[in-house]
Structure 1
Amino acid sequence: MRFTILSLFPEFFDSPLNCGLMGKARQQGLVEFSLVNPRDFATNKHKSVDDRPYGGGPGMVMALDPLASALRAIETPGRILLLSPRGRALDQSFARELSAESALTILCGRYEGIDERLLDLFPIELVSAGDYVLSGGESASLCLIESVARLLPGFMGKEESGDEESFSAGLLEYPHYTRPEVYEGLPVPEILLGGDHAKVRAWRREQALSQTLARRPEILAEAPLTSSDRRFLASKPRTLLARNLHIALVHGPVLNKMGHTVTVSLTNLDLHDIARISRTYGLAGFTVVTPLEDQQALAATLTGHWTMGAGAAANPDRAEALGMVRVTATLAEAIDQVREHAGQEPLVLATSARPDGATTPGRVREALRERPVLLVLGTGSGLAPEALALTQGQLAPVRPYGGYNHLSVRAACAILTDRILGDIF
């Protein structure tokens, strides 16, 4: 495979492309590298390759002509890749796709970026090595080159090595051990010492599943899992994130369509569906807030039918979900319940269809690693000001940029819970 690298600092690649397995692959002719410096194609007296950006602003922009001339000078460029935060994420499947090519050209940007018209002149594909900012594309290009080259036949020596690594099967890799058998009191897992290869394979698979669940649970949704894998994952305890998330459904004080503060009636559907959502995702609890005694009694009747009455015998799954429901008269009481349950102060976040919220699901996930979060859902036309006063922030709405944003509260609850926790919690 031939790699052509366009860089203002070709010397950056002297050591990385000549050591370890990459150096051996280069000696064996499995990979070839050609380094092209766009500065060699600059036509001005000072060989400059950058200029001030139109429209003003800090920094400089890589000029168009040297880059275009450099690209046109490459006899067989293959697919042309530009390292950019705007690009397609570099993952194992993308690396495997690129490894089927005979030639790749990799363009390393510098300064504030590259004149955008280069993308109009050439079939350039943007590739991102991660959600962070670097001084240039050189270090990111090394990640791309190695991830692709090591998939070429003969590169790894023992081909199955590449098949058992992290992400190759959609999972993180299982842990490894070598001699000595015991080191500073830490033994090698006994199952690896018995010589039963079938048991070792099963253990390694379970370890890969456990590692992925604990460290990168979001990739399980796309992993090719067997029915045995799913049973194993289902047997694992709830994650910390799910155990820290609480839901409160407020029926009063809320607003009506005219903006008046009112209390609205609870509904059988909301009670059932949000309870089932809470149980499905393994949440810490679900509280219904209503100051009206007749509504509190109605909630007790509905839940009692399924948890203690005939419904419990007829539908144990429904009983398990409805058994999570708690009822309080005020949102302040619901917050107190979470505080007592978790032993620490919760982060209380409001939800709304209005485009006022700035808290993202990702920020909620980060908060859940440290403390309990109470997600407050409003009924009617949304939470009243006195309820909002008890919250510390507001989630961005489910569909902030659409012209129609009128989901039912149970649908909004399902979507927000899934965005926060994902498919595997």
Structure 2
Amino acid sequence: MHFHIISILPEYFTSPLSCGLLGKAIDNGIISTSMIYPRDFTHDRHSTVDDRPYGGGPGMVMKVDPLLQAIQSLPQGCTTVLLTPKGKPLSHSTACRLSLHNNIALICGRYEGIDARLEDLAELELISAGDFVLNGGEAAALCLMEAVARFLPGFMGKEESVGEESFSHGLLEYPHYTRPEIFQNKEVPEVLLSGHHGRIERWRRDRSLENTLNNRPELLDKTILSSQDTSFLKSVQRAKPSRNLYLTLLHWPVLNKFGKSGTTSLTNLDIHDIARVSETFGLGGYYICTPLKDQQLLAERLITHWTTGPGSRGNPDRAAALSRIRVASNINEAIKSIEEKTGARPHIVATSARGDGDATYQQVRETLSKRPVLLVLGTGHGLSPDIMDMADNFLRPVRYLSSFNHLSVRSAASIMVDRLIGDYL
């Protein structure tokens, strides 16, 4: 495999390509490299590769002409990669795919960026080393070269090493140990000394699952899990901030279809389905707020039937779900109840299908890790201005880029709760 490195700092690569496995791979002919210097394609006496940006602003921008000429000098069929923050993140699967190519060119940007017209004039694959800022693409190019080269026959020495490493099966790797057996009172796990290959294999799989759950849980969403894997994960599931999240469904004050503030009636489906969501995700509680005495009595009678009455004996799961419900006259009663339970006033987050919101799910997740959050759901045609005014934040709508955003409140509740405290967050 040959890497064509397009960079204005060729000396950046001298040391990394002369040591370690990359250096050995070059010595053994597994990979080869060549440097392409954009200044060689300039036509002025200063070999200028950058200029001031149109529209003003700080810094300089790399010129399109030298880079385009450098790309045109590449051999036919060469895969050309532009290292850029807006590219797709470099991943295990991307590195594996690129390892099948014989020629790869790596364009390393500098300054404030590259003239955008390069992407229109050349066929490029855009790849990012991660969600952070580098001074240029050289460090990212080295990451890509090493990640790709590890898949080449002979690079690792032992081919099985590639298959056992982090991400090779969609999971983080298990912990490793070597001599001495005891170091500062820390012992090597007994199972690794047992010689029992089956037990060792299971231990490593479990530790890999546990590492992934604790450090990169989103990877589990992309990994095929066996029933044994799932059982293990349930047994070690992290303490999550579920108990810090509370829901309240307001039946007053809410808007009617004429935009006037009023009161709505309870709906059986909302009571049951949002209670199921609360139980499934282990929330701190679910408050139904209505000022109408007959509606309060209706709710209490329904809850009693399923939690302590005849319904509880035939459907214990529903009993568990409805036991999370509390009936309140208004939102202030719900807030006071949560404050008495947790010792802290909850952060109030209002929801609506209208508007842009001033808080993302990530921001609310961060709040949940510090204090209780009350997610306020409305009935009718949405929350009244009074409720919106008392809220600390206004959560972005579920489908904020859609022109049709008319989910039932129970459907929206399910989606929002999953986005806030789902298993893989």
Give the AA of the match of 1:267. Answer: T
Measure, in 1, the Cα distance between the counterparts of 2:188 and 2:175. Answer: 11
Q: CA deviation at 1:360?
A: 0.8
- The Cα of 1:82 is off from its aligned counterpart by 0.5
Letter in 2 for 1:207: R
Q: CA deviation at 1:317?
A: 2.1
Contact 1:357 1:397 in 2 (8 A): yes
- For 1:124 and 1:157, locate their aligned partners in 2 and report how far apart those are by CA, in whole Å: 32
Look up the equivalent residue of 2:166 and give its one-letter code: S
Deviations 1:353-382 (A, max 9, x none): 111412111112222222222211111222
1:387 CA displacement: 2.1
Give the equivalent residue in structure 2 for 1:20.
Answer: 20
How far is the alpha carbon of 1:181 from its aligned partner?
2.1
Change beyond 3 A, Cα 1:235–1:137: same
Contact persistence 1:61–1:115 (CA under 8 A): yes
- Alpha-carbon separation, structure 1, partners of 2:326 and 2:302: 12
Amino acid at match of 2:164: E
Per-residue deviation, 1:85: 1.7
CA distance 1:189–1:243, change in 2 (3 Å): farther
Q: Does residue 343 of structure 1 match 2:343?
A: yes
State how far apart, in whole Å, the 1-side matches of 2:168 and 2:341 are: 41
2:416 matched to 1:416? yes
Are 2:243 and 2:283, in contact at CA under 8 Å, matched by a contact in 1? yes
CA distance in 2 between counterparts of 1:293 and 1:274 reads: 22
Verify: 1:361 aligned to 2:361, yes or no.
yes
Any idea what SS the aligned residue of 2:33 has?
Answer: strand
Distance 2:340 2:202 in 1: 42
CA distance in 2, matches of 1:163, 1:244: 40
**What is the CA–CA distance in structure 1 between the aligned matches of 2:24 and 2:235, rounded to whole Å?**
45
Residue in 2 that maps onto 1:258: 258
Contact preservation (8 Å) 1:77, 1:104: no
Contact 2:346 2:372 in 1 (8 A): yes
Shift of 1:76: 4.6
Aligned partner of 1:281 in structure 2 is: 281
Q: Quick check: 1:149 aligned with 2:149? A: yes
**2:240·2:421 contact (CA, 8 Å) conserved in 1?**
no
SS of match in other structure, 1:232 = helix
One-letter amino acid matched to 2:149: A
- In the TM superposition, residue 5 of structure 1 has moved relative to its aligned partner by 0.9
Distance in structure 2 (CA, Å) of the matches to 1:271 and 1:13? 63
Matched residue of 1:389: which SS?
helix
Matched with 1:48 is 48
Report how far residue 238 of structure 1 moved.
5.5
**Aligned residue number for residue 324 of structure 1:** 324
Matches within 5 A, 1:21-420: 21-76=21-76, 78-237=78-237, 239-420=239-420
CA distance in 2, matches of 1:325, 1:267: 14
Runs of 5+ in structure 1 lacking a partner? Answer: none
Distance change (3 Å), C-alpha of 1:378 and 1:171: same
Deviation digits for residues 331-357 of structure 1 (CA, Å, limit 9, x no counterpart): 122223333333334322111111141
- Alpha-carbon spacing, 1:388–1:362, altered in 2? closer, same or farther (3 Å): same
Could you tell me which runs of 5 or more consecutive residues in structure 2 were left unpaired when the two chains were aligned: none
188-197 or 7-16: which moved more?
A: 188-197
Letter of the 2:306 counterpart: W
Which amino acid in the other structure matches residue 125 of structure 2? E
Q: 2:109 is paired with a residue of what secondary structure?
A: coil
> TM-score under structure 2 normalisation?
0.95
Q: Is the 8 A contact 2:357 2:394 kept in 1?
A: yes
Between the two proteins, the alignment pairs up a number of residues equal to: 425
Q: Do 2:398 and 2:416's aligned partners in 1 also have CA atoms closer than 8 Å? A: yes
Amino acid aligned to 2:30: L
Work out the CA distance in 2 between the residues paired with 1:243 and 1:147.
41
CA distance in 2, matches of 1:302, 1:151: 62
Q: Secondary structure of the residue that 1:224 maps to in structure 2?
A: coil
Instruction: Work out whether residues 332 and 390 of structure 1, in 8 Å CA contact, stay in contact via their aligned partners in 2.
Output: no
Kindly provide the amino acid, as one letter, of the partner of residue 221 in structure 2: A
- For the structure 1 residues 406 and 312, does the alpha-carbon distance in structure 2 shift closer, same or farther, using more than 3 Å as the test? same
* Aligned-pair CA distance for 1:396: 0.7
Label 1:291 to 1:182 Cα distance change in 2 as closer, same or farther (>3 A): farther
RMSD: 1.8
Cα distance in structure 2, aligned partners of 1:229 and 1:49: 54
User: Aligned equivalents of 2:243 and 2:26: distance in 1?
Assistant: 51
Is the contact made by 1:238 and 1:282 (CA closer than 8 Å) also made in structure 2?
no
Contact 1:288 1:326 in 2 (8 A): yes
Q: Measure the CA separation in 2 of the matches of 1:379 and 1:238.
A: 34
